[in-house]
Amino acid sequence: MDLFLMTLTTGVMVGGIYALGALGWVLIYKCSGVLNLAMGELTLIGAYVSLSFYSMGVPFILSLLFSLIIGFVLGILTERVFLDRLIGEPVLTVIMVTVGLSFFFKGCVELIWGTDTRVFTPPVFSIEPIRFGTLIIGKVYLWSFIAAIILLIIFVSFFKYTRWGLAMQATADDEMAALSLGVSARFVYATAWSIAFMAAGVGGTLLGNINGLNISVGFLSLLVLPAVVLGGLNSVPGAIVGGIVIGILQNFCGAYLDRYFPGGVKEIAPFVFMAVFLLFKPYGIWGWERIERV
């Protein structure tokens, strides 16, 4: 029972971080209908920027804040330089551009920061765990989860209660109708990429505090894809629930199945789950079901 509770708790907390990455996928898809295949590299860039500031002696909270500001600026630049001329073009064209951006950003990260594993020194979170009876929780997991939930609440409120958030949803639903009502598609897309940069960067920073930071952190963002599919590609609440479910699933598989099937069951399980889930719910739990009549 102790193992079960620890595995469940850790899964929920790691899932909260996955939910941040899932939010970045959802933001881009909600406003443009495009799967951003460069999300892993956005995660890397934000994490390395935070680490760079922290290594210069800047407090962690300020380092994270500077990372958010730089992510916002980079999001606008990315949209203006690479994607602005693709408004109204076929979705497949934009997706292929995001593939190119993935390789471009990865090359930039390797050029600037290298490929060796780097850690936050001194450690941001104390290694002394928090104990609740027999339940032991690492402080890095607890505070990362709290930070992730706070940011998720902020982003959900942005979409639900602000004019910009409603404009982004309107553009995703019908771009031409939104344009006819005076909504700027350029502004919407730039804002979406900026928020995606920020969300992914925070998620990468928190993951870097748990496992250390290297180029492989970018591949961890692929674990977010099953979470996005589970919740629905255009659902912000779905991204939260999907991230937590995938975090729990991954941790339970690692705790109970790795001993019988050594060799990476923990990493494979989310994708197996995604494949099976799509057979029954191809739009996800809260995804929009589009019906086209001809």
pLDDT of amino acid 70: 92
Q: What is the dihedral of CA 248, 19, 220, 168, to 10 degrees?
A: 150
Structural domain includes residue 288: no
Structural domain includes residue 77: yes
Structural domain includes residue 127: yes
- The model scores a pTM over 0.85: no
Residues of the chain with pLDDT below 50 are none
Q: What is the pLDDT of residues 1-37, one digit of tens each?
A: 777 888 888 888 888 778 877 877 887 777 667 778 8
Q: Which domain holds residue 218?
A: 2-280
Structural domain includes residue 242: yes
Q: Residue 209's closest CA among 131, 132, 254, 146? A: 146
Give the CATH number, domain containing residue 135: 1.10.3470
pLDDT of amino acid 200: 82
Write out the two tokens for 269: 């399980």
What domain count does the chain have? 1
pLDDT of amino acid 205: 85
57: Cα within 13 Å, side-chain hemisphere:
0
Give the DSSP letter of residue 20.
Answer: H
pLDDT of amino acid 288: 60
User: Buried b / exposed e across 59-78, counting CB within 10 Å, b at 16+?
Assistant: eeeebbebbbebbbebbbeb
Structural domain includes residue 291: no
Structural domain includes residue 287: no
Write out the two tokens for 159: 């979409």
pLDDT of amino acid 54: 92
Structural domain includes residue 293: no
Q: What is the pLDDT of residues 90-119, one digit of tens each?
A: 778 888 888 899 889 989 999 999 888 888
pLDDT of amino acid 211: 75
Structural domain includes residue 177: yes
